[in-house]
Structure 1
Amino acid sequence: MILQFYYARGGSFEEYQNQMNIYAVVETIEVNGEIVDCVDINKQPSLQHPLLQNHEIQTEPTSFPVDQKPSSSFSKSNQVKMQEAECPLGTVPIYRTPNDHPTFLPDMFFADLNNSKDVLPGKTRLAALRTKDEYNYIYRGVMGNPALYNLDVQKKQISISGVWIENFEDNPKNIIVTGHMVSPYLKGDNRPRMFVYWSGNGRGNGGCYDFRCPGYVQVHRKIAPGSAFVPVSTYGGQTTDQRYVIFEDQKTGNWWITIGEPSVTIGYFPKELFTHLNARSNRLGWGGVAVAAGDGTMPPMGSGHKPDGDFKRSGYVRGVQYVDANFIAQSPLRNGVTKFVDESGCYGFDNWGYNSNWGYVILYGGPGGFCGRG
């Protein structure tokens, strides 16, 4: 029996989740006090999307990008462990999340910073590195290691560190994002947790976070969106980060999500979901995204402090790379990227450039607050 599309016809996520529980859950387990539903991999909610009715699950990529790491010290020194849910073979984990929020936040990654006005509820601010707009350039993936910090984020604020890939040529815009977010609103606490986000036809129509609507296909049976990290960075002390990769499968055209070094394959977005990313990507981003609370206050971003040149006190993304048209990972050139930062003064950004130990690095973040105009 096909799950009903409550999210599309105005119903609540609780109804949608209850339907999922009835038809797909094999076992429910507890992981460090959190409830996780182990769902039959072939009956997971993603497959109820109208565009995926005949989709056959791909359990692993047909190939990976050729990774060109700049040095041996680039890899595991700052890596962390992720919370794992021991779901049975043939199932995938779906973390239960709070139900007192909407399925979509449609303006999350579509801020027009050139025309921004006073901060309103849901207002988005970015402090990010972005590739320059080249209509004829083709990207096959994006990757980077954002730092992990616990942040004092209020209930309806959201603070994100991550990487994203999009096609901006025509409306509707297509985008895929992964990284970690701090959001009591979406995740239930102030710990950074893995997330994914997508939109296939612009401004939230046909897209959402994690499993909030059908679309994202989970394949790993232990690690999933919602998984927390241990340990996180200490301001002025030891830093930790996680590597995220989004890349296109050379044969199927699906967009894969991997984390860690060596990489762990988590899941993918089928190419059928997209109007333009099913052909190519022409814009990438790395850095921080923040969403205001109901009273217009912005959350902290990065480490919660503006960058001052010290990696131990700043939010950062190290190992900034992209996957070129030949599926080879490359570090960007300074003349091929540009900063994308609002002018409110709440957040700072430093395009640090190439570091012999950490590859290409950016620093970003700030305390948030009432940012006013920007």
Structure 2
Amino acid sequence: MKENQAIRVALLMSYLFLVTRGKDARTINQWENTSQIIIGRQVNKTITMEDGDVYDCIDANHQPAFNHPLLKDHKFQMKPSSFPIGLNTKSSFLHVVSEAHLSTIDCPTGMIPILRTSKLDQVALHNNIDQMSTKDMQQEEAGIKYFDNLYGVRATINVYEPKVNKDSKDLRQTGIQIDNGPKDQIDSIVFCYSVAPGLGGDRFDRFHIVWNDGVRNMSCVDLNCPGFVQVSRTIGLGGRVQLVSVYNGPQYVINILVFKDPKTNNWWLAYGEENTLIGYWPSSLFPRLKDKGDFSFWGGYVYGPTASSDSPQIGSGHFASEGYGKAAFMRNIQIVDNNNKLVTPNKYKVLIGTSDLTKYTVDGYEVDKNGMHMYYGGPCNLI
């Protein structure tokens, strides 16, 4: 089924995303080595964050994206030709929330930040990938599936940091995906925050972007290989999301928007209340997403060797029925139509649910002029 393949693509976010096809992993390894060489030669400034992450600032014109063969003659686009219509409309929300922030790095003008990964870290990472690819993986999800013509998607996402054991091999992810294509040839874009201690080395929420070219059988995470063109000199992909929500306490959100430029057909990524541009996927990367998307998913996933048997947290780890401040939520879920206008999704094209109602739930689903809204998550009784 198309939806099963689409969910599988999103579930294998970040490093796990590459495990689905052995050819992908080998291709990515080659590209990662190339990007490391580029970084080593072009570093303008190195910045160490308070949390220990190290970012290298490199010339934006020499970033890994332009090493992709399809982008050989690509013209660097600093901003979209236009934003979706209706973007500045403020939605009403009864509860007070604060905005979480992605890692902020002050690279010089004309530079972009790239998270540094040591060769030793890469060896350990790929060893973990190889081990996981040989085991029977389990998966669970909770959220909203949507089938329609899509030229963009957005949502306000409640940020929680799932509690995980330091030796866990499971991945927890919350975010949005947009796809197009038949089974086994799906072009996909995923943007999310995740916790994956067995792969990333820590138990923090980290923001990632992923894209997949289903026809050419290629995948990529963040700036680890050529493809995504970053324009922001201050946003660090792969970095921590801060602050995070507290059960029955302060609530934090991130606002995410992805939309297709109606003139260039490039897919732009923006975040925050001010819709700060991070960068874009050139349309030439995608045989099918070049035109439009036909499927989207908003929600949470868990994936790994114990994702079903041990039931890791989705969202806050509490059931959707607990409501605001206790269960995780997504609100202001909208799509961009073929007139480049933000609109409320057609409720008749929505599928709401979870992979296992005894472990994960969706509740409080509503549709109004500001979009769709829902609570989701679990399993509080198993933590």
Question: TM-score, with normalisation over the residues of structure 2?
Answer: 0.81
Where does residue 125 of structure 2 map in the other structure? Answer: 101
* 8 Å CA contact 2:344, 2:368 repeated in 1: no
- 1:130 aligned onto 2:130: no
Q: 1: CA distance between counterparts of 2:198 and 2:347?
A: 36
Q: 1: CA distance between counterparts of 2:177 and 2:96?
A: 22
Paired residue secondary structure (2:125): coil
- 1:328 aligned onto 2:341: yes
Q: 2: CA distance between counterparts of 1:39 and 1:186?
A: 26
Counterpart residue type for residue 248 of structure 2: G
Give percent identity, aligned residues only. 29
* 8 Å CA contact 1:157, 1:183 repeated in 2: yes
Q: CA offsets, 1:58-87, max 9 Å, x none?
A: 111111001264635589943223331111
Paired residue secondary structure (1:42): helix
Q: 2: CA distance between counterparts of 1:146 and 1:105?
A: 28
Paired residue secondary structure (2:126): coil
Where does residue 109 of structure 2 map in the other structure? Answer: 89
Where does residue 179 of structure 1 map in the other structure? Answer: 192
Aligned residue runs from structure 1 range 43-192, under 5 A: 43-67=62-86, 69=89, 71-73=91-93, 77-97=97-117, 98-99=121-122, 100-102=124-126, 121-132=136-147, 137-154=148-165, 155-169=168-182, 171-192=184-205
* 8 Å CA contact 2:150, 2:338 repeated in 1: yes
Where does residue 37 of structure 2 map in the other structure? Answer: 19
Q: 1: CA distance between counterparts of 2:233 and 2:318?
A: 36
Where does residue 115 of structure 1 map in the other structure? Answer: none
Paired residue secondary structure (2:38): helix
| CA deviation after TM superposition for structure 1 residue 253, in Å | 0.4
C-alpha distance 246-105 of structure 1, shift in aligned 2 (>3 A): farther
Where does residue 307 of structure 1 map in the other structure? Answer: 320
* 8 Å CA contact 1:180, 1:194 repeated in 2: yes
Counterpart residue type for residue 266 of structure 1: I
Q: 2: CA distance between counterparts of 1:104 and 1:14?
A: 17
| CA deviation after TM superposition for structure 1 residue 190, in Å | 2.0
Deviates more, 1:137-146 or 1:89-98: 89-98
Q: CA offsets, 1:319-365, max 9 Å, x none?
A: 11111111111122422211252137332222511368x75211111
Deviates more, 1:347-356 or 1:148-157: 347-356
C-alpha distance 334-257 of structure 1, shift in aligned 2 (>3 A): same
Q: 2: CA distance between counterparts of 1:213 and 1:369?
A: 41
List gaps (5 residues or longer) in structure 1: 107-119
Q: 2: CA distance between counterparts of 1:10 and 1:63?
A: 33
Matched residue pairs, number?
348
* 8 Å CA contact 1:146, 1:242 repeated in 2: yes
* 8 Å CA contact 2:142, 2:360 repeated in 1: yes
Paired residue secondary structure (2:320): coil
Q: CA offsets, 1:117-162, max 9 Å, x none?
A: xxx6543322120113xxxx42110000111112223443211111
| CA deviation after TM superposition for structure 1 residue 189, in Å | 2.2
C-alpha distance 6-275 of structure 1, shift in aligned 2 (>3 A): closer
Paired residue secondary structure (1:308): helix
Q: 1: CA distance between counterparts of 2:230 and 2:96?
A: 25
List gaps (5 residues or longer) in structure 2: 1-22
Q: 2: CA distance between counterparts of 1:46 and 1:170?
A: 27
Q: 2: CA distance between counterparts of 1:207 and 1:6?
A: 6
* 8 Å CA contact 2:48, 2:54 repeated in 1: yes
* 8 Å CA contact 2:171, 2:196 repeated in 1: yes
Q: 2:225 aligns with which of 213, 228, 233?
A: 213
Larger proportion of helix: 2
Paired residue secondary structure (1:28): strand
C-alpha distance 124-54 of structure 1, shift in aligned 2 (>3 A): farther
Q: 1: CA distance between counterparts of 2:94 and 2:58?
A: 36
Aligned residue runs from structure 1 range 218-229, under 5 A: 218-229=230-241
Question: TM-score, with normalisation over the residues of structure 1?
Answer: 0.83
Q: 2: CA distance between counterparts of 1:20 and 1:184?
A: 28
Where does residue 346 of structure 1 map in the other structure? Answer: 359
Aligned alpha-carbon RMSD (Å):
3.2
Q: 1: CA distance between counterparts of 2:356 and 2:25?
A: 35
| CA deviation after TM superposition for structure 1 residue 185, in Å | 3.8
C-alpha distance 39-171 of structure 1, shift in aligned 2 (>3 A): same
Where does residue 379 of structure 2 map in the other structure? Answer: 367
Where does residue 196 of structure 1 map in the other structure? Answer: 209
* 8 Å CA contact 1:139, 1:282 repeated in 2: yes
Q: CA offsets, 1:182-217, max 9 Å, x none?
A: 222444322222211110116x93112212322111
| CA deviation after TM superposition for structure 1 residue 88, in Å | 1.4
C-alpha distance 12-339 of structure 1, shift in aligned 2 (>3 A): same
Deviates more, 1:323-332 or 1:45-54: 45-54
